[in-house]
Amino acid sequence: MEEKNETFSYTYSAKEQEEIKKIRDKYAAPTKEEISMEQLRLLDAGTTRAATVVSLLVGIVSSLLFGVGMCCALVPGWETYLIPGIVIGVAGIIGVAAAYPIYTHMVKRKRAKLAPEIMRLSEELLK
């Protein structure tokens, strides 16, 4: 008698293969390189985050001070507030002008602090 070898074979399309790989990669344990790369990204993003927040706060508060000073100095009938309004407005102008130098100073300081760790991680990843 003749033996029949009946087997069924099915292969997924290339698009389905890619989707399967993407789903599988979500649940796979991260490799050491992936962990190091994520640490490197976080350190790099952290160098500007705090500086951005502080400089925005200084700029916003200073512009509000400038506005209050302008109101005090320019509103008719508030002549007694003219000199304090000018002082408050000048303080606001100084604060707005200082926001960007504060940002650059904080970024430089943070980058200098994190440079050894970032260099170590990048050398580890480049090898």
Q: What is the pLDDT of residues 73-105, one digit of tens each?
A: 888 888 888 999 999 999 999 999 999 999 999
For residue range 18-61, list pLDDT tens digits in order: 888 889 888 888 788 888 888 888 888 888 999 999 999 999 99
- pLDDT at site 94: 97
What pLDDT shows up at residue 8? 67
Helices in the chain by DSSP H: which ranges? 14-27, 32-74, 82-126
pLDDT of 12: 62
Asked if residues 11 and 75 have their Cβ atoms less than 8 Å apart, the reply is no
Q: Are 110 and 29 in contact (CB under 8 A)?
A: no
8 three-state secondary structure = coil
Cβ atoms 36, 121 nearer than 8 A = yes
